[in-house]
Structure 1
Amino acid sequence: MEPVTAYLGIGSNLGHREVNIRSALELLSRDVTLEVCSSIYDTAPWGFHDQGRFLNCVCRATTRLEPRALLKAVKRVEGMVGRRRTFVNGPRTIDVDILLYGNMVVSEPGLEIPHPRMARRAFVLVPLEEIAEDLRHPVLGCSVSELARRLGGGDSGRHGEGVRLWGGPIPVLRIS
């Protein structure tokens, strides 16, 4: 299989959040080639609000894994970093979502690509816009910048509601 560009959203709101994200990236690099990661953003919880704030980032990766195999790798990484599934949108040590996989559209039990809620989530669109502002959503047909602009609001007017820059871009460790 030819390499495919995938975008992964990564978040944590339990424990040492930045350490959890960095651990997930290191483990993911065994299965994908991480090309670039956004800055880290401190974000309000989405869905279930009675929990701590998240740290979130988005990474661009290339992979030869098919979408289902990539999902399996992502779930394995989540488990290795200590993810315990409690309830939908609940607190978590780590969360890794496949946001986009090339221009592919997948709708299968347990796997939807593009991520079905990404266009409504500032904590996804703000970091994604940082690394791929002109990238087009394969279903909606508009750019990431357009989607982010539609959400508007936020702390500085540039960032979405409840999204604040927390740390700079994460350097990608390249292992040959």
Structure 2
Amino acid sequence: MEDKENRIFSVFLSLGSNLGNKERNIEFAYKKIEEQIGDIKSSSAFFYSSPVGFISENNFVNSVCEVTSYLDVDSIFATSQRIEKEMGRVGKSLNGVHSDRIIDIDILLINDLIINRPDLIIPHPRLHERSFVIIPLSEIAGDVLHPVLKKTIRELKEEFYRKFQI
């Protein structure tokens, strides 16, 4: 029987901010992630993008990090949500309706887990469709295999480029 207490998770998180000092918001979120979730093994460069799914004059700064964590999946999820609230995020996007936010933290991948619940889907269902996720993720995890699509992150990025002719 596996000892769940000692299970190590490799967690890929996507962070985005389009309010206030966006770069500082992400850096502060990284600090809270290290304090509350685990050690940040690597992080991407900042990626600048326009809002997707809603209209706003505020562009986004995005980044992706890999965290080594001993927390279980539900604790990782709850802690990422708590960090958002601690930083001043008011409500999550509902029914595909998005809005400006000081910080957004999404779980992209956790090891090779596949989770499909009403409150949590891993891998993130749209990670391969968003430039602000797939490009920074490929920077730090190009060889990681997407457990559902059975392609590496680098292959998914190349498909994204071909699809959108970037």
Residue 34 of structure 2 corresponds to 29
Which whole-Å CA distance do the structure 1 matches of 2:55 and 2:133 have between them?
A: 17
Which whole-Å CA distance do the structure 2 matches of 1:10 and 1:86 have between them?
A: 14
Equivalent residues of 1:37, 1:57 under 8 A apart: yes
Between the aligned residues of both structures, percent identity stands at 35
Residue 104 of structure 2 corresponds to 95
Number of matched pairs: 156
- After the TM superposition, which parts of structure 1 deviate over 6 Å for at least 4 consecutive aligned residues? none
Deviation at 1:50, TM superposition (A): 3.1
Which whole-Å CA distance do the structure 2 matches of 1:13 and 1:45 have between them?
A: 8
Deviation at 1:2, TM superposition (A): 1.5
Higher strand share: 1
Q: Give the alignment partner of residue 132 of structure 1, picking from 129, 141, 144.
A: 141
Aligned to 1:45, what secondary structure does the other structure show? coil
RMSD of Structure 2 on Structure 1 (CA): 1.7
Deviation at 1:106, TM superposition (A): 0.6
Residue 61 of structure 2 corresponds to 55
- TM-score in terms of structure 2 length: 0.88
Equivalent residues of 1:4, 1:102 under 8 A apart: yes
Residue 152 of structure 2 corresponds to 143
Equivalent residues of 1:68, 1:111 under 8 A apart: no
Unaligned runs of 5+ in 2: 1-5
Deviation at 1:134, TM superposition (A): 1.0
Higher helix share: 2
1:108 aligns with 2:117: yes
Aligned to 2:136, what secondary structure does the other structure show? helix
Equivalent residues of 1:85, 1:92 under 8 A apart: no
Which whole-Å CA distance do the structure 1 matches of 2:60 and 2:130 have between them?
A: 13
1:45 aligns with 2:51: yes
- TM-score in terms of structure 1 length: 0.84
